[in-house]
């Protein structure tokens, strides 16, 4: 049986509601919307860790952040040599492995990433650990190739990075299927500028677009200034996804290529804490997830609860590979085939840096706890937590009313508390003590 090509298009800090297939007020993502209409759209997809490095480590291994040891940014050995990676498994099974863009798993900053820290991507490499420090969204910058040579580029970053993707597709070796991982920085803010950097004209083009209610209710955030450029980044990602799809069609590869589009986390625009992520709220945990290609061609929309941790096992299954012992998640092929029996009714989220946190998201409820006497930069977990948030998303979809101390929810909290502990144990953590709110 012919093995499919596998292409992951990975954005950074992109909310789910910036795509038209999720949000009717968005009319600037026709390319990704078309992929969703042809493939599988996951309406309830959530990150398993709303921080850049941990989410990436989870995606490259199929393990939770506390299992890889990469529970925060800046871990020197974010991918331990003892942990099998997706790229290593694809390489061993006859795939050409290629990576283009932001890596953020080697702690090497704007210097070349040594081969042993590239997670098994052996055949093609054009990347840098922190793309936000080697380039800007508007004026370009540089990455490094497989031999550590600096490769400069100018112009808008998403466009130029896509140019490299098209060059790879045109000039790759064709005797093997490819596993290509494209990691964009956008729509992540440009760190040194302190702003989101959309293409020129974004502020004018998107200034009148409706602002999501979970942002609009918090005038203290920076969304009024930053949201138009953020949408400009998202529109550019869509345009460039279209360029890649056209190249695949021109080369006769489209029907043989599984395309997965998703993001590491979203952005709440400093409405929930002092920056953009690192909390349990949907603004930074609810992400887009679309798959289109072999095994995902039915035009299916699922509202089952899906985690970013479900994507690695899905990709391995698509490549016909044996899944290593311990890999977490569930293959999304089941949902594409309409097989929902036994599918988990919740997703589990680990939170770090701002605090040591754990959260459970169901279709109706959001329940989260905070570690007691634990620094989120120094500790991956805690022995004891206290309940922090409870939201009834059926009646409060924008998470405006915290019910964790309200009378009448004791049974709900008890059920969610037990389920959260169960998920923590499944992820390799010790069962903690969870103190009820107010005690």
Q: Which of 18, 29, 25, 99 is nearest to 241 (CA)?
A: 29
Q: What is the pLDDT of residue 288?
A: 98
DSSP secondary structure letters along 27-41: -S-HHHHHHHHHSEE
Q: What is the pLDDT of residue 20?
A: 98
**Do 404 and 374 reside in the same domain of the chain?**
yes
Out of 336, 371, 393, a domain closes at: 336
**Do 326 and 360 reside in the same domain of the chain?**
no
Q: What is the pLDDT of residue 171?
A: 97
Q: What is the pLDDT of residue 329?
A: 97
Out of 336, 364, 379, a domain closes at: 336
Asked, for residue 90, whether it belongs to a domain, the answer is yes
Please, which pLDDT band fits residue 402 given cuts at 50, 70 and 90?
Answer: very high
For residue 439, pLDDT over 80 is answered with no
For residue 225, pLDDT over 90 is answered with yes
Mean per-residue pLDDT for 396-412? 97
DSSP secondary structure letters along 127-143: EES-HHHHEETTTEEEE
Number of structural domains (the chain) is 2
**Do 114 and 211 reside in the same domain of the chain?**
yes
Q: What is the pLDDT of residue 438?
A: 81
Please, which pLDDT band fits residue 370 given cuts at 50, 70 and 90?
Answer: very high
For residue 85, pLDDT over 80 is answered with yes
User: Residue 399, SS3?
Assistant: coil
Compare 285 and 81 and report the one with higher pLDDT: 285
pTM above 0.75, yes or no: yes
Q: What is the pLDDT of residue 374?
A: 92
For residue 82, pLDDT over 90 is answered with no
Each residue of 116-151: pLDDT tens digit? 999 999 999 999 999 999 999 999 999 999 999 999
**Do 331 and 361 reside in the same domain of the chain?**
no
3-class DSSP string for 157-180: HHHHHHHHHHHHHHHCCCCCCEEE
**Structural tokens at position 297:** 């061609």
Asked, for residue 240, whether it belongs to a domain, the answer is yes
Q: What is the CATH number of the domain that holds 42?
A: 3.40.720.10
Asked, for residue 345, whether it belongs to a domain, the answer is no
**Do 94 and 199 reside in the same domain of the chain?**
yes
Each residue of 23-54: pLDDT tens digit? 999 999 999 999 999 999 999 999 999 999 99
User: Residue 221, SS3?
Assistant: coil
Asked, for residue 223, whether it belongs to a domain, the answer is yes
Compare 81 and 260 and report the one with higher pLDDT: 260
For residue 223, pLDDT over 90 is answered with yes
Q: What is the CATH number of the domain that holds 401?
A: 3.30.1120.10
Q: Which of 347, 372, 365, 371 is nearest to 415 (CA)?
A: 365
Mean per-residue pLDDT for 381-401? 98
Q: What is the pLDDT of residue 169?
A: 98
DSSP 430: P
Residue 246 half-sphere exposure toward CB, CA atoms < 13 A: 9
Q: Which of 39, 62, 56 is nearest to 333 (CA)?
A: 39
**Do 392 and 328 reside in the same domain of the chain?**
no
Q: Which of 267, 259, 173, 271 is nearest to 229 (CA)?
A: 267
Contact 357, 280 (CB under 8 A): yes
Asked, for residue 59, whether it belongs to a domain, the answer is yes
Average per-residue pLDDT for the chain: 97
Please, which pLDDT band fits residue 267 given cuts at 50, 70 and 90?
Answer: very high
**Do 383 and 272 reside in the same domain of the chain?**
no
Kindly tell me the burial class for residue 407, based on how many C-beta atoms sit within 10 Å of its own C-beta (0-12, 13-18, 19 or more). Answer: exposed
Kindly tell me the burial class for residue 327, based on how many C-beta atoms sit within 10 Å of its own C-beta (0-12, 13-18, 19 or more). Answer: middle
Mean per-residue pLDDT for 80-91? 93
Residues spanned by the domain of 269: 5-336
**Do 210 and 267 reside in the same domain of the chain?**
yes
**Do 192 and 110 reside in the same domain of the chain?**
yes
- Helix (H) or strand (E) holding 235, with range, is helix 223-250
**Do 86 and 231 reside in the same domain of the chain?**
yes
Q: Give percent of the chain above pLDDT 70.
A: 100
**Structural tokens at position 102:** 């932001």
For residue 1, pLDDT over 80 is answered with no
Each residue of 150-195: pLDDT tens digit? 999 999 999 999 999 999 999 999 999 999 999 999 999 999 999 9
DSSP 62: S
Please, which pLDDT band fits residue 76 given cuts at 50, 70 and 90?
Answer: confident
Asked, for residue 365, whether it belongs to a domain, the answer is yes
Asked, for residue 342, whether it belongs to a domain, the answer is no
């Amino acid at each position: 049986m012919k093995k499919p090509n596998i292409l992951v298009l990975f954005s950074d800090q992109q909310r789910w509601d910036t795509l038209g297939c999720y949000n009717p007020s968005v009319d600037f993502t026709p390319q990704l919307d078309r992929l969703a209409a042809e493939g599988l759209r996951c309406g309830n997809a959530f990150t398993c860790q709303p921080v850049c490095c941990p989410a990436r480590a989870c995606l490259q291994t199929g393990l939770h952040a506390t299992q890889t040891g990469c529970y925060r940014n800046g871990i020197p050995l974010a991918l331990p040599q003892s942990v099998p990676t997706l790229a290593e498994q694809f390489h061993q099974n006859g795939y050409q492995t290629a990576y283009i863009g932001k890596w953020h798993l080697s702690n090497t900053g704007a210097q070349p990433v040594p081969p042993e820290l590239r997670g098994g991507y052996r055949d093609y490499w054009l990347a840098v650990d922190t793309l936000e420090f080697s380039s800007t969204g508007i004026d370009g910058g540089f990455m490094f190739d497989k031999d550590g040579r600096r490769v400069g580029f100018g112009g808008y970053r998403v466009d130029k990075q896509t140019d490299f993707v098209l060059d790879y597709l045109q000039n790759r070796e064709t005797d093997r299927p490819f596993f290509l991982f494209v990691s964009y920085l956008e729509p992540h803010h440009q760190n040194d500028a302190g702003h989101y950097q959309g293409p020129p004209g974004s502020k004018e083009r998107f200034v009148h677009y409706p602002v999501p209610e979970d942002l609009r209710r918090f005038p203290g955030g920076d969304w009024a200034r930053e949201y138009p450029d953020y949408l400009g980044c998202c529109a550019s990602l869509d345009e460039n996804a279209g360029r890649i799809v056209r190249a695949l069609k021109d080369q006769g590869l489209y029907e043989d290529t599984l395309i997965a589009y998703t993001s590491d986390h979203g952005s709440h625009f400093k409405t929930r804490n002092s920056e953009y992520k690192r909390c349990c709220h949907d603004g930074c945990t609810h992400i887009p997830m679309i798959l289109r290609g072999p095994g995902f061609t039915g035009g299916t929309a699922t509202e089952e609860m899906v985690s970013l941790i479900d994507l690695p096992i899905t990709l391995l299954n698509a490549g016909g590979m044996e899944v290593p012992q311990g890999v977490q998640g569930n293959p999304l092929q089941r949902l594409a085939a309409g097989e929902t029996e036994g599918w988990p009714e919740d997703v589990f989220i680990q939170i770090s840096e701002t605090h040591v946190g754990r959260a459970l998201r169901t279709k109706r409820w959001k329940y989260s706890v905070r570690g007691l006497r634990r620094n989120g930069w120094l500790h991956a977990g805690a022995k004891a937590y206290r309940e922090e948030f409870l939201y009834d998303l059926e009646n409060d979809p924008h998470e405006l009313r915290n019910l964790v101390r309200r009378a009448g929810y004791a049974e709900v909290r008890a059920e969610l508390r037990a389920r959260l502990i169960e998920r923590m144990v499944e992820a390799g953590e010790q069962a903690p003590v969870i103190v009820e709110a107010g005690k």
